[in-house]
Amino acid sequence: MLEIIKAIFFGIVEGITEWLPISSTGHMILLNEFVKLDVSPEFWNLFLVVIQLGAILAVVLLFWNKIWPFSKEEKNYIKTDTFVLWFKILVACVPAAVIGILFDDQLDALFYNYTCVSIALIVFGIAFIIIENINKGKKPKIKKLSDITYQTAAIIGVFQLIAAIFPGTSRSGATILGALLIGVSRTVAAEFTFFLAIPVMFGASLLKVLKFVVAGYTCTGGEILLLIIGMVVAFVVSVMVIKFLMGYIKKHNFKIFGWYRIILGLLVLAYGLFR
């Protein structure tokens, strides 16, 4: 029962931090220091990634009409605009996918530590505040998903690559920041970031599972149960968080998340230095 409660905590944190631009990695590092799951190290590494599938299903549920490319009401049952959107999403995914497949383990070994995570939190927190100050009073150039060009998608993909390299950057934080920087509205930036997460997280989860299996690791029935519980909780929490965020950014900017990242980064750095 205690392990189930822990899995619920991890699901809650994943559901909140995956979509807010505040870094799920930084929060998971802190939570793991105080709430450790009684599982093998190999399964823990798998758990951290695969639990994200629960969060992804929330996006699929909430934005089904925007991401499903088929409709009986359309000619030939195909929504052309949605197919084009998915091609742009794939373009944005290519840089991070290539680097993730080739250098996933090496990048974790180099950068998955308190210092790098805290620096990424602080630097991107400052960047959010600066970009929002620069954009204050300006009208965004891109106000609809259909206005996103392949060039825009590629630029956003480069920012997602930064998140893939440096833990603590926040995938959603990096892509939203990149989108804001090139004139995308907050709402469109958030939606495009959500859609980007679908292939990225499915791919990352599949890669982790394959490595787990190929390495000959196994997991117990109890560990699988913890993973399922974490995914279900992450799904439920993600639905609420996504709805909150989409409502919030219609009237507010991202500066509060920037300040939060700076404070969290300082806490992570202090904890890493003095623990």
Other CB atoms within a 10 A radius of the CB of residue 259 amount to 13
Q: How many H helices and E strands in the chain?
A: 12, 0
State how far the Cα of 215 lies from the Cα of 229, in Å rounded to an integer.
25
Domain that holds residue 252: 2-274
User: Residues 268, 114: contact at Cβ < 8 Å?
Assistant: yes
From first to last of its 275 residues, the chain has per-residue pLDDT tens of 899 999 999 999 999 999 999 988 778 877 888 888 888 888 988 898 899 999 999 999 999 999 998 887 767 788 889 999 999 999 999 888 888 777 777 877 777 778 888 899 999 999 999 999 999 888 999 999 999 999 999 999 999 888 878 888 888 999 999 999 999 999 999 999 999 999 988 888 888 889 888 988 888 899 999 999 999 999 999 999 999 999 999 999 999 999 999 999 998 888 888 87
State how far the Cα of 250 lies from the Cα of 185, in Å rounded to an integer.
10
Dig out the tokens for 151 from the structure: 């060039």
The number of folded domains in the chain is 1
Torsion sign, CA atoms 234, 236, 237, 242: positive
Residue for token digits 């958030």? 190
